[in-house]
Chain A
Amino acid sequence: MVDRLLGRGPREGATPAEHGTPAERAAAAAYARVQLARNLRRPHTLELVRVMADEFVQLHGDRLFGDDEAIVAGFARIDGRRVVVVGHQKGADTEENIRRNFGLPHPEGFRKAMRLMELGERFGLPVVTFVDVQGAFPGAASEERGVAEAIARSVGLMSRLRTPIVTVITGEGGSGGALAIAVGDVVIALENAVYSVISPEGCATILWRSADQAAAAAAAMKMSAAEQRTLGIVDIVVPEPGEGAHTDPVETARRLRAAVVAQLDALSRVPADELVEARYRRYRALGPFEVVAAPTPPPAERGLGDRLRGLLDAGRQTIGGSLPANLPNLPNLPNLPNLPGVPHRDEPPAREEV
């Protein structure tokens, strides 16, 4: 994997990854891909839809508060097929970016998306979503109007929507703000797109205590389209032309159109209740874990020694070799949570953006 990534060679905006340890080179390659996914000239939803669709009728507003231009939505005709389109929209220049809040949606953007997806359900139109967002807007206005609630509701709505949903990750798939419009029957990703639970900078700030470690975080999270496909989060990766989508937006859109149309046609033959059941199962199955014999956990009142023994016996069966051999002698155990990302329960919480 690493070799393949390195084999691609340096890209625009990327740090050439020719020096350093293998881990450093892998980190540089992973971060180069993040930069590529963020390339300012990369085609966004409107640019792609302009080529993919014969017609696009944009609709505005969530009917509750306002219109959020960081998310665009409307009706489109793609190769003769009538669909609802919902997508994140970053700006191409500073002026547009200010209008679109640098592509960071407020709650009303997600609520507009929900309104349009419900229209699709009611009028039998499949939904095609385009995902390209660093994350939901993290400011006070967003929190006041319930951005978390909007994301949760949108995710819930998509999980039960009785019409086909094809999702395309075109650039940055950034955390909850991405997932809010990404719960598809099929998830397609452009070759240089990335998908992660938190931005690599955010992850590095919290776990490495330094934003400088963003490249290491990008590699650790396995956020490239190819890696996400291997993990089963993404189903299909569409190759980009030339040195990336930004070098040939029209060809990129043509390739995406073919991929989307094929999936729409396949999904259109599935009865709605089977479709919803299969979608439920798709997301139900994501996230590996194991099941081990479960002794009743020791009551909290018991001494530390008992707790250690109880846990180690169980732990050995399950985590096996990963437990350090000297654990029973660990000093200051009650202070163990004093680790980055493991705050003590009475410490101020480590806030995490997701």
Chain B
Amino acid sequence: MPPIRLPFRGRRTDFPPDLWTRCPSCQEMLFNKQLEKALRVCPNCGHHFRLAARRRLELLLDGGSFRERDAGLQSVDPLGFADSKPYPDRLAAAQLATGEREAAIWGTGSIEGRPVAICAMDFGFIGGSMGAVVGEKVTRAAEAALAERLPLIVVSASGGARMQEGTFSLMQLAKTMAALERLRAGRVPYISVMTDPTTGGVFASFAAVGDVNLAEPNALIGFAGARVSGGTIAEELPPGFQRAEFLLQHGFVDRIVPRPELRDEIVRLLEYLVPPRPAEASAEVAAVAPGFRPLSFLNALAGRPVETGGDGRSARPAAEAPATVPTPTMPAVPATTGLGLRPAHREAGSPPAEAAEAPKAGEKPEARQFETQTAEAETGAAVGARRPAEGARRG
């Protein structure tokens, strides 16, 4: 399949595809170098080509300010999933094609000197689909933004949840939304930037709920795929359906911003959306949620910078994280039939018992506070090794 769809087949040899790209909107042949220089926006008609995640970060952040975090997070195959091709092969192919380990990159940086936490997605990596790693990175970005009082920016480009991870990918909607609700309660601003395409479970979670929602012109933004909308439910679709302008018209996008103006636009918004200083914020949270114990809340927060590998200000380069080989041993899922207790339930009833128990992955503030940084990788491996129970067996 050629990189672009040609209206008719006659391929002209005087436009070698590694040098030229045809604009799918105006059909003009564009010299690739010029297209890159123009931020991958067609100089002729303004069509926005897709942008790789790292290019996006370069475009938005001050030069050299980006400090990537959690770069070592990598997907596993919890279900032993294979369609025409096993999921691990798909992951390997996507890594080769994009030069990225996963479909999202997050870290800290600055925009015109203003520090931010930022996460960008890469559609080239299995359609930018959200599995456990993408969900984890968005969640960690939100948790770090809250702990460090940094405005959060997420640039979405995704076809939705990653089917190969089954309901685990569905659960990323809950995981990311839970973190964003805490960010909201802490009055830390969140700007969602929707680019072509932002659909399915990504649109139905973090992408839709920015304090300010920005979108690139003509970006496809919608929940259900055209196959379903146009197929199962035979219904005339309105013109411009699920495009950025349609979303603006219906009230789900604040502003449509052409790519060359995106950086300035974000700078302008950040002047209004200023996170509180730490003391202010915790007082606010305590006031917002009556009965919320500030002490336990702060304790929980204190555990999180360890999680993201920083001291709350300076980013620890993820490259320093020690390599680990995931341990194949896995505690059995507690045997409960019928009405027995289950882990989350025990946690709820008696937190100390939970800490002593098989750790639930990810969050374990009480125990984690005293661990050294090497714990990060071990816990991550434990997460990978522990959860997939049944799925670890290829079936």
Contacts and interface: CB of A to CB of B under 8 A. Distances in A.
B305 interface: no
Interface stretch (A7-15, A45-53, A84-92, A335-343): A335-343
A350 B220 CA distance: 11
Given A179-B173, A287-B165, A287-B172, A278 B344 contact: yes
B250 interface: yes
Contacts of B164: 207
B314 interface: no
Contacts of B229: 138-140, 143
A81 interface: no
Contacts of A271: 291
B100 interface: yes
Contacts of A277: 296, 300
Interface string B63-80: 000001011111110110
Given A208-B83, A290-B383, A350-B127, A176 B293 contact: no
Contacts of B381: 290-291
Interface in B49-67: 49-50, 52, 54-55
Contacts of A274: 348, 351
Contacts of A269: 349
Contact of A288 (B124, B224, B251, B388): B388
Contacts of B324: 290-292
Interface in B139-194: 139, 159-161, 163-175, 177-182, 185
Contacts of B161: 175, 197-198, 352, 354
B29 interface: no
B292 A288 contact: no
Given A140-B235, A278-B347, A155 B94 contact: no
A222 B377 contact: no
A294 B106 CA distance: 13
Interface string B107-127: 000000000000000011011
B13 interface: no
A342 B159 contact: no
A322 interface: yes
A273 B123 contact: no
B329 interface: no
Given A237-B337, A290-B384, A354-B200, A281 B88 contact: no
Given A290-B381, A345-B52, A230 B167 contact: no
A286 B171 contact: yes
B344 A221 contact: no
Contacts of B7: none
A258 interface: yes
A17 interface: no
Contact of A289 (B1, B85, B384): B384
Interface in A132-151: 135-140, 142-149, 151
Contact of B170 (A149, A179, A337, A348): A179
Contact of A140 (B55, B136, B174, B241): B241
Contacts of A145: 250
B99 to A, nearest CB: 5
Interface stretch (B256-264, B276-284, B360-368): B360-368
A257 to B, nearest CB: 11
B319 interface: yes
A142 B361 contact: no
A66 to B, nearest CB: 16
B108 to A, nearest CB: 16
A29 interface: no
Contacts of A143: 222-224, 229, 241-242
Given A138-B223, A291-B377, A307-B99, A222 B199 contact: no
Contact of A344 (B3, B71, B132, B323): B3
A235 interface: yes
Given A146-B251, A197-B170, A346-B21, A273 B1 contact: no
Contact of B291 (A239, A272, A298, A343): A272
Contacts, number: 469
A294 B163 contact: no
B52 A291 contact: no
Contact of B178 (A153, A156, A238): A156
Choose among A195, A282, A293, A327 the residue with the greatest number of B CB atoms under 10 Å from its CB: A282
Contacts of A297: 54, 71, 99-101
B82 interface: yes
A37 interface: no
A337 B364 CA distance: 38
B205 A155 contact: yes
Choose among A1, A203, A230, A342 the residue with the greatest number of B CB atoms under 10 Å from its CB: A342
A39 interface: no
Contacts of B10: none
A98 interface: no
Contact of A203 (B163, B200, B209): B163
B312 interface: no
Interface stretch (A72-80, A245-253, A311-319): A311-319
A179 B200 CA distance: 13
A230 B99 CA distance: 34
Given A287-B172, A349-B220, A352-B129, A138 B233 contact: yes
A287 B390 contact: no
A176 B173 contact: yes
Contacts of B169: 197, 287, 354
A157 B3 CA distance: 42
Contacts of B208: 146, 148-149, 152
30 contacts: A138-B229, A146-B252, A148-B203, A149-B208, A152-B177, A156-B177, A162-B291, A217-B83, A222-B390, A231-B388, A233-B171, A235-B342, A263-B339, A273-B293, A280-B182, A284-B361, A285-B383, A288-B385, A289-B383, A290-B76, A295-B319, A297-B101, A300-B52, A317-B323, A327-B96, A344-B3, A347-B1, A347-B5, A349-B199, A351-B159
Given A207-B164, A351-B225, 16 more contacts: A138-B224, A146-B252, A148-B222, A148-B223, A153-B209, A176-B170, A186-B344, A220-B83, A231-B387, A263-B339, A269-B349, A270-B348, A292-B323, A324-B89, A346-B49, A349-B159
Closest 5 pairs between A and B when the two form their complex, measured CB to CB: A287-B132, A291-B380, A351-B225, A138-B224, A290-B384
